[in-house]
Amino acid sequence: MEKTNHSQQLNLFEDISDLQLLNLTKFQLFLYKLIHFFKGIPGLLVSLFKTIGKLLKGLFTWIGNDLADIVKTFKDGDFKTKLSYLIMGFGSLTRGQILRGLLFLIFEVVFIVYMITAGGHWLGKLGTLGTQLPGTVYDPKLDTYVRVDGDDSFKCLLYGVLTIMFILCFIYTWRMNVKQNKDAEELLRAGKKLKTAKDDVSSLLDDQFHKTLLALPLTGITLFTVFPILFMILVAFTNYDGAHDGYSNLFTWVGLENFNTLFSMNTSSGNMSFAFGEILSWTLIWAFFATFTNYFLGMFVAIMINKKGIKFKKLWRGILVLTSAVPQFISLLYVSKMFAANGMVNGLLINQGLISDLSHIIRFWEDKTLARIMVIVINIWIGIPYLMLITTGILMNIPADLYESARIDGANAVQQFFKITLPYMLFVTGPYLLTSFIGNINNFNVIFLLSGGGPNNIKLSTAAGTAGDTDLLVTWLFKITTNEGSKYYLASVIGIMIFVVVSTIALIVYNVIPSTRNEEDYS
Amino acid sequence: MNENKKHMGLKAKERLSNTVIYAILIVMSIVWLIPFVFLVFESFRVESTYQVGYVIPKQFGFDNYINLFTKTDFPIWFKNTLVIGLFVSVIQTVIVLCMSYTLSRLRFKGRKGLMNIMLVLGFFPGFLSLVILYKVLSWLNLTSANSVPGLILVYVASSGMGYYVSKGFFDTISRSLDEAARVDGATRFQVFTKVIMPLSKPIVIYTILTAFMGPWGDFMLAKYVSHATSAGMNVAVGLQTMISTPASLAANYTMFCAGGVVVAIPITILFMCLQKYYVEGVTGGAVKG
């Protein structure tokens, strides 16, 4: 207790020495970090640019060193190594590492064949995304008009990007091939044996086991997450939409125009920047309330059930958990209809005489403020059981003697909560709060199934389609791609903006929340 | 005397606070259960297919259930979702375990970097990639009526990103186990299969359970890929289209309730049976983020 009193006298707005920092409670430390984060924003920006500079410098030195190493290996190497620069795997093959050598060689052949037959073609189209519409062109040789299949901008972009990825992959493999030669030469010079094919295979279950385990997951992630994201980032710089679908009407690069559209006031396509600003701010408000109402109320419920002397603990928990077992879409759709204008709630109110007639029914989903409150409240209903589960486990981990000594010191329940429970919870669940906040920014299901983004707001409706008062950026994005006109380029720009928003928040939080990311702590 | 009074006061206070808590818990239980009770009642209502202002049906019957199975594509949606769920639960579990085990217990160059990349990838809205994935799937003829294999592919392909919870679990297993086995001459593969896996039953069950339940609730992706073709829908999309317009709502509302009950029962039973593992996973996952 004395410690706490001492540290309370400190001014958290001033710099505190390391020794004094040790005396702070976790909660004070959290506050201190928060305050100093915001005080340090200008410094942070400076250091951000410095870091970028450092990274760039590091990148160039790395490339320089790598090139120097490649040249040196070539100079020092024997003819096998030298020839490997042209014929990949030659060194391995002639040194008896047949399997490795063959794999390198096959990869090189496949790469060359691909580049000649298709890669070059797609690479050439990447600059324009296609020039030829389907139709008939005049063929001077035949002196007649012949039908041609037009270019497909979508394919040009897709295969163009894939080709670039393939080339990078080739460069990496080539570099590996050079390094292998260098290593093999060094080993032989030292009089050691090279690894046989059998060694290579068995090492995949031992030293190189991580490669075996990661091969499948990482291939999936590269093809189905990384590549689509790269592709969609590029789409933000094109005019790809329903009218420019790529094959009946080509699309092409437009530079930063789409970002201009989003940020310029009163363009011909409606007030896009206003709509974006409104929807973004509601998204943040929603994410804040959705995260913290669930968090604190869930914790509150968990504490109540955990309290000594409360009976039927299993029953209370069971009831709540039972409701979270029902697939969310059922609960959401049902509750949404329950509160509809002619739904169960209004019907019951009329039948009980609480509402006189149909003209007085409560239109839960048709008023901006009411609809917003509704989605937050129903989200609490959805989220509390889950949060209750999480917090119950953590609450049980708080050492009981902490509470015991607090009680002896005369702390009441409220003080115990603010001095012990809350700081502990915040400390342990910090990263969870961040993930949950990000999850709520992109919480498609709750909004789409409850309110569908409505009520529609004319002010938010642009050339990209309509939007409503409870629309989040992500449901807006969905509407833009599925509405008539399908402005994919705009959806991409908004997707990038979501990324910017989320990573800014993550950056702030990572700097403030005490780290629990130390993996070894739990071993 | 005074002591005793104080003691009594504390006790009375305690009793009061417990009463308040019981009251809150009872009210909460009612609020949490009511929609589901309503749902079940409405699913047995015969006299009107539309929303009404009372809870207990005037005429009970199985009409909605019979109609659901004979007059709609519900059996197809249910089968689709079940097939997706089964495939996804197996493949996704393998992928997630590989990923999380590697990141948790093996040390190799680029491990931290890999984890940071995953973190940053997670900042992009997943929906963004759907436009291109849909296009590619439609070239492969894996959309609309064929969307089941397409959906399985998309669900499992990126499932390695969700390694956090099970990595948290592997982090808690003492490293000395690995070291002892390594000293005895076990390869890393043998450590994985013979030492760690037998200890990992809770997290394996948790991963299977969540992987199986995911497709039952997925709405956005399934809606996009099935592209308004009834034969390719899952239960979520199917039941939502059933009541998406005012006219269809009036005709199908009670049938939708019946569908909700039919979907909720097996999932809830499964969930209750494996609840222990679910709770362990959720709690552990949140602690380690």
Kindly identify which residue of chain B lies nearest to residue A503, measuring between CA atoms. B123
pLDDT at residue number A457: 82
Query: In angstroms, how far is CA A22 from the centroid of its own chain?
Result: 35
Q: What pLDDT digit, counting tens, does each position of B84-116 carry?
A: 999 999 999 999 999 999 999 888 888 988 998
How close A319 gets to chain B, by Cα (Å)?
7
Asked whether residue B225 carries a pLDDT value surpassing 50, the answer given is: yes
Pick the CATH number of B73-288 from 1.10.3720.10, 1.10.10.10, 2.40.50.140, 1.10.490.10: 1.10.3720.10
Of the candidate ranges A236-240, A327-331, A401-405, A458-462, the one whose mean pLDDT is the lowest: A458-462
Please give the average per-residue pLDDT across A434-458, as a whole number.
88
Q: Which residues numbered 124-143 in A keep a CB inside 8 Å of some CB on B?
A: none
A111 in B contact zone (CB under 8 Å) = no
B116 in A contact zone (CB under 8 Å) = no
Interface probe with B: pick from A59, A210, A380, most Cβ of B within 10 Å = A210
pLDDT at residue number A510: 75
Query: Are the C-beta atoms of residues A329 and A335 closer than 8 Å to each other?
Result: no
Which residue has better confidence, B288 or A137?
A137
pLDDT at residue number A117: 92
Looking at the partner chain, which of A235, A340, A381 has a beta carbon nearest the beta carbon of B32?
A381
Asked whether residue A47 carries a pLDDT value surpassing 60, the answer given is: yes
Looking at the partner chain, which of A158, A335, A432 has a beta carbon nearest the beta carbon of B286?
A432
| Encoded tokens for A467 | 């939007």
pLDDT at residue number A204: 85
Where does CATH 1.10.3720.10 sit in chain A? 272-514
pLDDT band at B259 (very low <50, low <70, confident <90, very high): very high
Interface probe with A: pick from B123, B213, B262, most Cβ of A within 10 Å = B123
Interface confidence (ipTM) of the complex: 0.89
Looking at the partner chain, which of B25, B217, B284 has a beta carbon nearest the beta carbon of A327?
B217
B246 cis-preceded (ω within 30 degrees of 0): no
Asked whether residue A199 carries a pLDDT value surpassing 90, the answer given is: no
- How is chain B split into domains, by residue range? 73-288
Q: Percent of chain A scored above 70 by pLDDT?
A: 91
Burial of A103 (0-12, 13-18, 19+ CB in 10 A): middle
B54 in A contact zone (CB under 8 Å) = yes
Asked whether residue A521 carries a pLDDT value surpassing 90, the answer given is: no
The CATH number given to A272-514 is 1.10.3720.10
Answer whether A217 sits within 8 Å of B159, measured CB to CB: yes
Asked whether residue A136 carries a pLDDT value surpassing 80, the answer given is: no
Nearest to A226 by CA among B132, B164, B221, B222: B132
pLDDT at residue number A504: 86
A332 in B contact zone (CB under 8 Å) = no
Q: What pLDDT digit, counting tens, does each position of A288-308 carry?
A: 999 999 999 999 999 899 888
Asked whether residue A60 carries a pLDDT value surpassing 90, the answer given is: yes
Spatial distance between the Cα atoms of A129 and B272, rounded to a whole number of angstroms = 54
**Which residues sit opposite A146 in a β-bridge?**
A137
Looking at the partner chain, which of A323, A435, A473 has a beta carbon nearest the beta carbon of B32?
A323
Q: What pLDDT digit, counting tens, does each position of A20-36 carry?
A: 766 777 677 777 777 77
Radius of gyration of chain B from its Cα atoms, rounded to whole angstroms = 25
Instruction: For residue A394, list chain B residues with Cβ-Cβ distance below 8 A.
Output: 283, 286-287
A385 in B contact zone (CB under 8 Å) = yes
Q: What pLDDT digit, counting tens, does each position of B42-88 carry?
A: 999 988 878 888 888 888 989 999 999 999 999 999 999 999 999 99
How close A9 gets to chain B, by Cα (Å)?
32
pLDDT at residue number A114: 94
How close B276 gets to chain A, by Cα (Å)?
11
Q: What pLDDT digit, counting tens, does each position of A369-407 carry?
A: 999 999 999 999 999 998 898 888 888 878 888 888 888
pLDDT at residue number A461: 77
Please give the average per-residue pLDDT across A124-143, as a whole number.
80
Nearest to A478 by CA among A457, A496, A460, A495: A495
Helix axes B63-71, B246-273, angle to 10 degrees: 100
Q: Which residues numbered 176-235 in B keep a CB inside 8 Å of some CB on A?
A: 187-189, 192, 213, 216-217, 219-220, 224, 235
pLDDT at residue number A10: 56
B139 in A contact zone (CB under 8 Å) = no
pLDDT at residue number A116: 93
pLDDT band at A217 (very low <50, low <70, confident <90, very high): very high
pLDDT at residue number A109: 95
pLDDT at residue number B289: 42
How close A43 gets to chain B, by Cα (Å)?
23
**Which residues sit opposite B268 in a β-bridge?**
none
pLDDT at residue number B285: 59
**Which residues sit opposite A144 in a β-bridge?**
A139
pLDDT band at A128 (very low <50, low <70, confident <90, very high): confident
Instruction: For residue A445, list chain B residues with Cβ-Cβ distance below 8 A.
Output: 217, 219-220
pLDDT at residue number A173: 93
A105 in B contact zone (CB under 8 Å) = no
Q: What pLDDT digit, counting tens, does each position of A415-438 carry?
A: 888 888 888 888 778 778 888 999
Please give the average per-residue pLDDT across B267-272, as a whole number.
87
Instruction: For residue B240, list chain A residues with Cβ-Cβ distance below 8 A.
Output: 329, 333, 449
pLDDT band at A1 (very low <50, low <70, confident <90, very high): very low
Q: What pLDDT digit, counting tens, does each position of A74-102 carry?
A: 888 888 888 889 899 888 888 888 888 99
Of the candidate ranges A54-68, A255-269, B180-194, the one whose mean pLDDT is the lowest: A255-269
Answer whether A351 sits within 8 Å of B53, measured CB to CB: yes
Which DSSP string corresponds to B89-146? HHHHHHHHHHHHHHHHH---TTHHHHHHHHHHHTTS-GGGGHHHHHHHHHHTT-SGGG
Instruction: Quote the mean pLDDT of chain A.
Output: 84
pLDDT at residue number A241: 86
Answer whether B129 sits within 8 Å of A232, measured CB to CB: yes
| Encoded tokens for B24 | 């809150």
Instruction: For residue A304, list chain B residues with Cβ-Cβ distance below 8 A.
Output: 21, 24-25
pLDDT band at A5 (very low <50, low <70, confident <90, very high): very low
Of the candidate ranges A256-260, A284-288, B94-98, the one whose mean pLDDT is the lowest: A256-260
A276 in B contact zone (CB under 8 Å) = no
CB count within 10 Å of CB A202 equals 15
pLDDT at residue number A154: 87
Kindly identify which residue of chain A lies nearest to residue B268, measuring between CA atoms. A325
Instruction: For residue B130, list chain A residues with Cβ-Cβ distance below 8 A.
Output: 481
